[in-house]
Amino acid sequence: MSDKICVGAIAGAFGVRGEVRLKSFTSDPVAIADYAPLTTEDGKLSFDVAISRMIKNGLAATLSGIATKEEADALKGTRLYAERDRMPNLPDDEFYHADLIGLTVLDTGGAELGKVRAVHDHGAGDILEVLGPSGEILIPFTRAAVPTVDLSAKRIIADLSDT
């Protein structure tokens, strides 16, 4: 399991005073500020976060060290990460996407389908993107299609009979 969890991304500048348009990946979007300091994936930059207000498709926020529109624009596309130990514990049937990526996916007969490459959420529920010997497979992340997730064994059992 990763020691960092991706909690958001900078979508560019908001206004001319160094605010950023922030897309939050947390269940409560405003809670992203509670997990600060947030870092870039490589850990080279670290930011304290203050949410200014909700805006269309995200949040307006100030990041420590960012004072101009140009500095904010330069960070467009940057993903922000929080330390795992700052994140809340999840119920048994919920998972952080970062914990699922890289797990081996087996069908109900034990045949390997591949490894989870990404988890996508397009609004109708999460989808596992699995890359294996036969190519890419998309599996809905529902209890029916994925009856077992075993993080300690680093595997997922997928039932593709109804997908």
Write out the H or E segment, with its range, that includes residue 57: none
CATH code of residue 17: 2.40.30.60
Short-list 99, 144, 142, CA closest to 121: 142
Q: What is the mean pLDDT of residues 51-55?
A: 94
- Which of 86, 106, 138 lies at the terminal end of a domain, its last residue? 86
* Predicted confidence (pLDDT) at residue 163 exceeds the cutoff of 70: no
The answer to whether 153 and 140 are in contact (CB under 8 A) is no
Is 52 among the domain residues? yes
96-147 per-position pLDDT tens digit: 888 899 999 999 999 999 999 999 887 778 899 999 988 999 999 999 999 9
Same domain, 82 and 24: yes
Q: Does the pLDDT value for residue 13 go beyond 90?
A: yes
* pLDDT at 70 (0 to 100): 95
User: Which long-range contacts link 148-153 to residues 24+ away (Cβ below 8 Å)?
Assistant: 149/95, 149/100, 149/103, 151/1, 151/95, 151/99, 151/103
CA atoms within 13 A on the CB side of 88: 10
Strands 104-107 and 155-158: parallel
Task: Please give the single-letter amino acid code of residue 138.
Answer: L
| pLDDT confidence band for 2 (50 / 70 / 90) | low
Least confident of 3-7, 52-56, 91-95, 126-130: 91-95
Range of the domain at 59: 4-86
Q: Based on the fold, state whether residues 10 and 69 are members of the same structural domain.
A: yes
Alpha helices in 49-142 (DSSP H): 69-74, 97-100
Number of structural domains (the chain) is 2
**List of long-range contacts for 85-90, beta carbons under 8 Å, 24+ apart:** 86/34, 86/35, 87/5, 87/7, 87/35
